[in-house]
């Protein structure tokens, strides 16, 4: 059983890269039992989707900041 700290770290990493099957399983098993990590995962996915949707609509000139 992984700790909540491990799980939140894995969820954060999963936003940036593909996790291994073992890592995704560890998250899945943990969030079934832990509402705090489940909420963290939901929020992370919501924020990521919102952020991606936002950057897609930005004008190109804002991509590079001086």
Q: Footprint of Zn ion on this chain (CB under 5 A)?
A: 4, 34, 37
By beta-carbon proximity to Zn ion, the closer residue of 29 and 47 is 29
By beta-carbon proximity to Zn ion, the closer residue of 1 and 52 is 1
- The minimum distance between CB 31 and Zn ion, in angstroms, equals 7
Q: In whole angstroms, what is the distance from residue 49 CA to residue 43 CA?
A: 10
Q: In whole angstroms, what is the distance from residue 44 CA to residue 13 CA?
A: 11
By beta-carbon proximity to Zn ion, the closer residue of 19 and 34 is 34
Phi, psi torsion values for 30, nearest 5 degrees: -65, -45
């Amino acid at each position: 059983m992984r700790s909540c700290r491990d799980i939140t770290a894995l969820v954060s990493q999963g936003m940036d890269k593909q996790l291994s099957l073992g890592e995704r399983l560890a998250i899945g098993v943990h969030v079934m039992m832990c509402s705090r990590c489940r909420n963290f995962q939901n929020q992370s996915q919501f924020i990521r989707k919102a952020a991606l949707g936002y950057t897609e609509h930005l004008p190109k000139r804002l991509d590079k900041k001086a």
